[in-house]
């Protein structure tokens, strides 16, 4: 099981440097994706769902037509943990 210890500010900054496209808003990291059409966006979301289930860590998802926005936080830790950045890295691998 992934570590659910809340990260400190220095750890968060270091992880953000290594997680392109993601930005911090409070206790969440967020990223927007844009695809050519709805079918591509939904296909991407299906892949995200599989990753999220395997990690037992589920993002907040927003989708309108070809646009997808994701937000990650670890509710059990009341903030950001390694789980958030690990899933963000996996999402980057399929979304770039």
- Provide DSSP, 15-26: HHHTSTT-EEET
What pLDDT shows up at residue 3? 59
Residue 74 is classified by DSSP as: B
What pLDDT shows up at residue 22? 98
Confirm if 88 and 31 have CB atoms less than 8 A apart: yes
Report, as an integer, the average pLDDT of 32-39.
97
Output the CA torsion 87→92→93→95 (10° steps): 120
Report, as an integer, the average pLDDT of 67-87.
96
Could you tell me the pTM of the whole model? 0.93
CATH number for the region 9-95 comes to 3.30.1360.20
Q: Where do the structural domains in the chain lie, given as residue ranges?
A: 9-95
How far apart CA 10 and CA 71 sit, in angstroms, is: 20
What pLDDT shows up at residue 1? 46
Phi, psi of 24 (to 5 degrees): -100, 135
Tens digit of each residue's pLDDT (9 = 90 or more) over 38-69: 999 999 999 999 999 999 999 999 999 999 99
């Amino acid at each position: 099981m992934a570590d659910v210890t809340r990260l400190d500010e220095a750890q968060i900054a270091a992880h953000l440097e290594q997680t392109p496209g993601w930005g911090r808003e409070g206790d969440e990291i967020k990223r927007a994706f844009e695809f050519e059409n709805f079918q591509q966006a939904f296909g991407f979301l299906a892949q995200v769902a599989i990753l999220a289930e395997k990690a037992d860590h589920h993002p907040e998802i927003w989708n309108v037509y070809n646009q997808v926005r994701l937000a990650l936080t670890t509710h059990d830790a009341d903030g950001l943990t390694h789980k958030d950045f690990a899933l963000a890295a996996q999402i980057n691998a399929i979304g770039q």
